[in-house]
Chains A and B, each alone.
Chain A
Amino acid sequence: QLDVFVATPGCDGLPSLDSKESYKLSISEGSLLLSADTVWGALRGLETFSQLVGRDENGTYYINETEIVDFPRFPHRGLLLDTSRHYLPLRAILETLDVMAYNKFNVFHWHIVDDPSFPYESSTFPELSKQGAFNAMTHVYTASDVQTVIEYARLRGIRVIAEFDTPGHTLSWGPGAPGLLTPCYSGKEPSGTYGPINPILNSTYQFVSSLFKEVSTVFPDFFLHLGGDEVDFRCWKSNPKINAFMEEMGFGDDYKKLESFYIQRLLDIISSLSKGYIVWQEVFDNEVKVRPDTIIHVWKENPTPYMEEMANVTKAGYRALLSAPWYLNRISYGQDWMAAYQVEPLNFKGSPEQKDLVVGGEACMWGEYVDVTNLAPRLWPRAGAVAERLWSNATVRDLQDAYVRLADFRCKLLGRGIQAQPLYVGYCENEFGG
C-alpha cells in the first residue's frame, strides 16, 4: 500500500503559477510513503512512483528501496497545441494531457483559433465558429468540450491557458464578425481581402471587450495568452481610413505605433477583467506599455538571438517564457531531441534577479503539418526532452544517460497505449500494433 499524505488538503482548486509541486517519496520494506505540501505535488509523486515500479520475468511487481526529494526547477512547463491549422478531436487533446502528466508538464497552452479556422464555439458570438470553423458541425469545440478539457487537465495538475491571438492571425474571425477585420485596398478600391483586426473603430473594442469577457469566464486560469505576434502591416498601409487615423494620431509612418495603440487598449480591457496576460515577444520588442506582471513569450531566433532576447526581457523586469529552441513542429532527420535537451534556459548574461524572472518554457507543436494522424509520434518522446530540461536540475544534462532513460520511458509510453515514436534503432518488449 502506498500511503499518500498531503499537508494542505483541498482538491477542488485550480493549479496556478504559484502552486507547490514538491514531493517526497520514501520506499522501504514495509513502508511506502508519498508526502507533499499540496495535491499537485502528490500527483507529481504518483507519476514518479509509477515509473519506479518494475516487473520481473515471473510477473512479480517490485520496487527498489529509495528516498526521493523532488521539486521542479521551473514553475511553468508548457506544451502548445494548435487547433486552428488543423482541428484536433477532443480525444487527441485529452490523450495529450495524459502524456503531459506522464512528463510532468503542467501548462496546456491552447492556441485555439488562428487564420485558417475558428473552432471555438462562442456563446456571445456564435457566428464566429458558424462561419469560421472548417465545419461548424464537426470541427468545433463546444462549451462542454472546453469544460471537459479544463477539468481533465485540472485533475492532472495542468493549467489551461487559452490563446486568442490578435490583431494578426485573425482571418477566420472575419466571416463571423463583419467589420472586425481591416479591408485591404488596391489603390482606391477595396481589394476584397482582409488583414489584421481594424484598430481604428470603436466597434472593434466593443467586440473585443465582449469576447474576452466571455473568454475570461470560460477559462478559469489567471492568465490569458493574447498573442500579438507577426502583425503584417501591408493591409493597414493600403487602407486610406487607417492612413488618415495615423496622421491624426501623429504616428507618422510607424505602424508599430498603431499596433501598440491596439494592444494597449486590449491589455487594459483584459486587466479590467482581472486577468493577467502572456504575450509573444513582439509586444515587448515594439515597446508597448505592458503591466509589470506581464509574461513575455520568447519565440524568435532572429534578428535577435533568443538568449539575448531573454536577457533583454528580464533586464526590463518582465518575466519570460522560453519557446524559441523548442519548436517541435520543425522536424528534421535524426535525434533532434538532443538539441532540445541541451538548451540551457538561463544561459544569458544577467543578474540572479534577472534569472529568477525566467518562469519556464513551452514546447510548441504548431499545426501546419500536424493533425491527429501524426500528433502523438511527432510529440512523443521528443517533448520529454523539454519536460526534463524544465523540471530537473541544471546539472542533469548527460546525453548518454538521458538517452537510456528516455528510450526506456518511450517503451513505457507504448505500454500505456501511447503512439510514441522510436528515438533510434532498437526495440520494446511489446511493440505498437504488435
Chain B
Amino acid sequence: LTRAPRRYYEYMFGQPWQQRSSRPLGVRAGPELLELQVVIKSPEPGCQSFPHLGSSEAYHLTVAGPVAVLKADEVWGALRGLETFSQLVHEDDYGSFLVNESEIDDFPRFAHRGILLDTSRHYLPLKSILTNLDAMAFNKFNVFHWHIVDDQSFPYQSTFFPELSDKGAYSYSHIYTPADIRLVIEYARLRGIRVIPEFDTPGHTESWGKGQKDLLTPCYSGEQPTGSFGPVNPILNTTYEFMTKFFKEISSVFPDAYIHLGGDEVNFNCWRSNPEVREFMKKQGFGTDYSKLESYYIQKILDIVSSYNKGYVVWQEVFDNKVQLKPDTVVQVWMGNNYAHELSSVTAAGFTAILAAPWYLDYISYGQDWKKYYRVEPLNFPGSEKQKKLLIGGEACLWGEFVDATNLTPRLWPRASAVGERLWSSKNVTDLNDAYRRLTNHRCRMLR
C-alpha cells in the first residue's frame, strides 16, 4: 500500500504524486473531496505476503466529502477498491477532477480469474509481461498463468539445469533469468496477482530434450531410431531423478501454492514405436492402453510435486484418463467440445475446476467477438449446488503461435476485459448494450 496509491494517483490525475499537498488539480466551486482513507481490517493485512486462492478481495467504498473511505479485510481488497475508485474519478471540460458520491460494496464472484500467456511459441520481453500485469490489475484479474516452456523453446533459465535454456531457448537473449522471474513475481504481487507457472509434461516437451539428454523418448521406425523424439520417457529412473530435482527448484522459485503440471495432448505414436517402451508396457500389464502409461508417469510427477507441499493444476486429459489425483487438484477444462459436460464430470468427481474452453482469445475472428466471451455463463452446467461451488473461476488464454510483443496488447485487450467482468461480477450483470458502453469507456481509459 505504499506503491499502489502513488500508482493510482498518476492514473487518475496524469501526474506523479507530490508529497506537498497543494491544489494543482483545478479548482471549482462545490463540495471537495480532500482525502481517500484506506483501512485494512484484518490484523494480518497481508502486505508482506503473497496473494492466494483464499485471499479476501472484498472492499467497501464510501465516497462522500471531505474524506472518502475504502475499507477492506485484506490488502488485496484495498487494491481492488483503489482500481474501482480510480475509475470513478473523471475530468470535466475545465480540467477539474470529479467523483460522484457513492456507496459500493464489492467482492468477486469467482476467486480464480486468470490470464494465460505463452512464452514458448514466441518469447515475450519482460516489459510486455509487466505491461500485461498492469492491464490485468485494471481488470481485476488475479492469476497470471505463465505457460513458460513448450515444444518450440525453453526460455526458463534453470539453476540446477542451465543446459535446458542454453540449448533449448531460441537464443541467449531469449531467456528469463532468475532475476527476471523474481521481478515478474514481485510486480504481480504488488498488484494482488498470483503467478502460477506451467511446466507442461510429458507432451509439449521437445525443447527440453535439447539440453537434457535421454529425457525424451526416442522414436523408432521398425528396429531403428529415427533421430526424432517424442514425449518425456516414462520408463527410465533418470527421468524421475531429473523431475525430482527440477521440480524442487521450481517449487522454491515460484512461491504460489500451486504449480500447473500440464498433461495435455500426449501423442502416443512415439511411445508405441519404441521397443523398450513396448516391453515396459508388457511388464506393467498395461496391454496396448497407452493412457495407462501416461497415468503411470503423471502419478509419479504428482507425487513428486506433492512432496514439496505444492498443490497442482492439470489440463483436463489428466482427469479424463483417470489418473489418481489428490482431492485439492484443480482441473482446467479447455476442450471446446461440450465443456459443460466436462465441468459436470469434473465437479461430480469432487475436483475443483477452472474454465478456459470458451475463452481461447488467440482464436481471433472478424467483428465484436468480445460479446461471445461475455455471454458465457460458467455455471451453466448440470450439477448440484455443491458441484457448482467447485468451479472456482476461469482463464482467458492467449496462446502464442501467432502472438508476440508486437500484437499482444491489442489482441488481448479489451477482449479479455469481457472475461474479467464475467468472472468478477454478479451473474445477472449481462446486458450487452450496457457492457458495450462501459467497455468502450474502459478501453479509452486503458489507452490513457
Binding site for B on A (CB under 8 A): 329-335, 369, 373-374, 376-378, 414, 419-427, 429, 431-434
Contacts and interface: CB of A to CB of B under 8 A. Distances in A.
B363 to A, nearest CB: 5
Nearest to B122: A422
Interface stretch (B156-164, B260-268, B400-408): B400-408
A361 to B, nearest CB: 20
B173 interface: yes
Interface in B153-181: 153, 170-171, 173-174
Interface in B116-157: 121-123, 125, 127-128, 152-153
B402 A422 contact: yes
18 contacts: A332-B366, A333-B364, A333-B365, A335-B402, A373-B409, A373-B447, A377-B407, A414-B406, A422-B404, A423-B402, A424-B401, A425-B401, A427-B122, A432-B125, A433-B127, A433-B128, A433-B405, A434-B127
B367 interface: yes
B400 A425 contact: yes
Contact of A421 (B363, B367, B407): B407
A419 B411 CA distance: 13
B410 interface: yes
Given A330-B366, A331-B366, A333-B365, A425 B406 contact: no
Contacts of A422: 122, 402-404, 406-407
B249 interface: no
Contact of A432 (B171, B174, B406): B406
Nearest to B120: A425
Contacts of B256: none
A391 to B, nearest CB: 24
Contacts of A419: 406-407
Contact of B365 (A331, A420, A423, A429): A331
A185 to B, nearest CB: 27
A378 B411 CA distance: 10
B170 A427 contact: yes
Interface in B395-424: 400-407, 409-411
Given A374-B407, A377-B407, A426 B122 contact: yes
Interface in B415-448: 447
Nearest to A434: B125
B362 interface: yes
A425 B121 contact: yes
A374 B408 CA distance: 10
B152 to A, nearest CB: 5
Contacts of B364: 331-333
A421 B153 contact: no
Contacts of B128: 433
A329 B366 contact: yes
Nearest to A332: B365
B171 A427 contact: yes
A180 to B, nearest CB: 29
B302 to A, nearest CB: 29
B174 A377 contact: no
Most A Cβ at <10 Å: residue of B174, B404, B409? B404
Interface in B26-57: none
A340 to B, nearest CB: 15
Contacts of B404: 421-422, 431-432
Contacts of A431: 123, 125, 174, 404-405
A393 to B, nearest CB: 29
A434 B447 contact: no
A433 B365 contact: no
Given A374-B407, A431-B123, A369 B402 contact: no
A373 B366 CA distance: 17
A429 B410 contact: no
Contacts of A432: 125, 404-406
Contacts of A425: 121-122, 152, 400-401
Contacts of A329: 366
A178 B170 CA distance: 61
A434 B406 contact: no
Contacts of B403: 421-422
Nearest to B124: A431
A80 B55 CA distance: 51
A103 B208 CA distance: 38
A335 B402 CA distance: 8
Contacts of B411: 374
A330 to B, nearest CB: 5
A376 B406 CA distance: 9
Most A Cβ at <10 Å: residue of B127, B152, B405, B410? B410
A434 B402 contact: no
B402 A427 contact: no
A331 B153 CA distance: 27
A355 B405 CA distance: 43
Contact of B173 (A333, A335, A421, A434): A434
Q: Which 9 A-B pairs have the closest CB atoms?
A: A374-B410, A377-B407, A434-B125, A427-B170, A421-B407, A433-B405, A425-B121, A432-B406, A419-B406
Interface in B324-377: 362-368
B168 to A, nearest CB: 13
B366 A333 contact: no
A416 to B, nearest CB: 13
Given A332-B364, A431-B125, 10 more contacts: A333-B364, A334-B402, A369-B366, A373-B447, A419-B407, A422-B404, A424-B401, A427-B171, A431-B404, A432-B405
Most B Cβ at <10 Å: residue of A334, A369, A422, A424? A422
Contacts of A376: 406
Given A426-B122, A431-B123, A421 B402 contact: yes
A338 to B, nearest CB: 13
A335 B123 CA distance: 19
B367 A369 contact: yes
B80 to A, nearest CB: 26
Contacts of B406: 376-377, 414, 419-422, 432-433
B196 to A, nearest CB: 23
B405 to A, nearest CB: 4
B410 A373 contact: yes
Contacts of B447: 373
Nearest to B125: A434
Contacts of B170: 426-427
Nearest to A425: B121
Interface string B198-213: 0000000000000000
A248 B367 CA distance: 43
A427 B366 contact: no
Contacts of B366: 329-332, 369
B362 A333 contact: yes
A334 B364 CA distance: 9
Nearest to A373: B410
Nearest to A334: B402
A421 B128 CA distance: 14
Contacts of B400: 425
B129 to A, nearest CB: 10
B405 A333 contact: no
A97 to B, nearest CB: 19
A422 B152 CA distance: 15
Nearest to B152: A425
Contacts of A420: 406
B410 A424 contact: no
A434 B180 CA distance: 13
Nearest to A422: B404
A334 B403 CA distance: 11
Contacts of A330: 366
Contacts of A414: 406
Most A Cβ at <10 Å: residue of B173, B407, B411? B407
Given A331-B366, A332-B365, A333-B364, A429 B171 contact: yes
Contacts of B125: 431-434
